[in-house]
Chain A
C-alpha cells in the first residue's frame, strides 16, 4: 500500500482541465512544502513537473500547476493535450526518506 493516496485514473477531453489529488498525513505532506509531481510515460524516464508544491522546472509548460491544503496536494493540468496522457505520481519527503503516491493514469479522450 502506497504511503500517499491518489485516485487510480482520471480522464478529460482536449482543452479541458483536470485535477489530480494526493493525500498524505501530517507527517509528510502536512509538515513541509517538499511535494513534487512526476509525469511518467511507460518505458521512459520519469519527468519532474512540479517541485516544492507550486514550482515548475524550466521547460515545463505553465499549463501544469500545483497546490496544497493541509495534508492534500493537487496537480492541475489545464488545456489538456494528447501528449499529457501519462501516469502522474506525487511524492513527499519525510525523515530523510521519500514516499510516492500510487500513481494516477491520465487518459485524454
Chain B
C-alpha cells in the first residue's frame, strides 16, 4: 500500500525558514517523480515544486522560485522541501504527491494528508 506522510510543519515567523519532509513507502520511491502542492486557507490547490525520480531535475512555481528548494534522499525514501524567506502568503497546508508515471508526466495518484505551515507576521 502506498503511503506518504508529511512532517515538519509548524509556526514560523515571517522571513524564517522551515524544512518539510515526506516519508514514502509501498512503492519504488526512486522510480517516480514527486511533487509538492499547497492549499492556502480558503483557496484552491497550488502546485509549487516537482522533482525527478533521480533528483537531478527540479521545477518550481514562480511564487516560490529562489526561496524554496525541493530535494530527495532515495536511500531514505524521503522527500524534502526547504522553505526560506517565508512570507505570510506561504501559510498553507503542504501536500506531497506521487507521480502516476515514473517520468512525472500527467497526474499525481497518491497524496499525503498534508502538514500545516503558518507564517506569522
Contact status A91-B107, CB under 8 Å:
yes
A102 cross-chain contacts in B, Cβ below 8 A? 44
Q: Measured between alpha carbons, how far is A98 from B59 in the docked complex, in Å?
A: 10
Interface members, chain A 8-45 (any B CB < 8 Å): 34, 36, 38, 40, 44-45
B37 cross-chain contacts in A, Cβ below 8 A? 46, 100
List residues of chain A with CB under 8 Å of any chain B CB: 2, 34, 36, 38, 40, 44-48, 51-52, 57, 87, 89, 91, 93, 96-103
Contact status A98-B114, CB under 8 Å:
no
Q: Measured between alpha carbons, how far is A48 from B107 in the docked complex, in Å?
A: 8
Interface pairs A-B: 9 shortest CB-CB: A36-B107, A51-B107, A103-B44, A45-B111, A34-B106, A100-B45, A98-B47, A102-B44, A46-B111
Contact status A101-B50, CB under 8 Å:
no
B4 cross-chain contacts in A, Cβ below 8 A? 45
Pairs across A and B, CB under 8 Å, 22 listed? A2-B44, A36-B108, A40-B45, A44-B113, A45-B4, A45-B114, A47-B111, A48-B110, A51-B100, A51-B106, A51-B107, A87-B44, A91-B107, A93-B106, A96-B50, A96-B59, A97-B47, A97-B61, A99-B47, A100-B37, A100-B45, A101-B44
Contact status A103-B109, CB under 8 Å:
no
Q: Does B35 contact A (CB under 8 A)?
A: yes
Q: Does B68 contact A (CB under 8 A)?
A: no
| Cross-interface CB contact of B105 among A44, A93, A103, cutoff 8 Å | A93
A100 cross-chain contacts in B, Cβ below 8 A? 37, 44-47
A38 cross-chain contacts in B, Cβ below 8 A? 45
Q: Measured between alpha carbons, how far is A40 from B112 in the docked complex, in Å?
A: 12
- Bitwise, B26-70 to A at CB < 8 A (1) or not (0) is 000000000101000000111100100000000101000000000
Q: Measured between alpha carbons, how far is A25 from B104 in the docked complex, in Å?
A: 21
A52 cross-chain contacts in B, Cβ below 8 A? 106-107
Q: What's the least CB distance linking A89 to chain B, in Å?
A: 5
